[in-house]
């Protein structure tokens, strides 16, 4: 059975986000003065063929820990979208 997940990855609080800083400045320069902060992250959609949702979720968790996210700099959440 196919199980679908959405993984959201973002920098941990307190770490530098150069893309966010540059984008915030650009938005301010364009006249969007109310922008307090901008942060960038990634959204990854994954479909896993597994016998049940728990096994599929465990596989996605392992994927995040081993490849998709840098645990030193990033945090992630896994959302079931099936």
Residue spans per domain, the chain:
2-80
- Between CA 9 and CA 24 the distance in angstroms is 20
**Which pLDDT tens digit goes with each residue over 50-62?**
999 999 999 999 9
**What is the pLDDT at residue 42?**
97
Count of alpha carbons within 13 angstroms of residue 49, beta-carbon side: 0
**What is the pLDDT at residue 30?**
97
**What is the pLDDT at residue 52?**
96
Class (C level, CATH) for 2-80: alpha beta
4, 5, 6, 24, 65 from 50: Cα distances, Å: 10, 12, 16, 42, 19
| Per-residue pLDDT at 82 exceeds 80 | no
pTM of the model: 0.85
């Amino acid at each position: 059975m196919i199980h679908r997940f959405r993984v959201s990855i973002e920098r941990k609080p307190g770490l530098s986000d150069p893309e966010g800083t540059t984008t915030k400045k650009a938005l301010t320069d364009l006249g969007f003065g109310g922008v307090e902060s901008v942060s960038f992250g990634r959204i990854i959609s994954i479909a896993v063929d597994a016998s049940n949702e728990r096994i599929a979720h465990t596989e996605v968790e392992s994927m995040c820990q081993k490849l998709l996210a840098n645990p030193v700099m990033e945090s992630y959440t896994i959302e079931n979208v099936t």
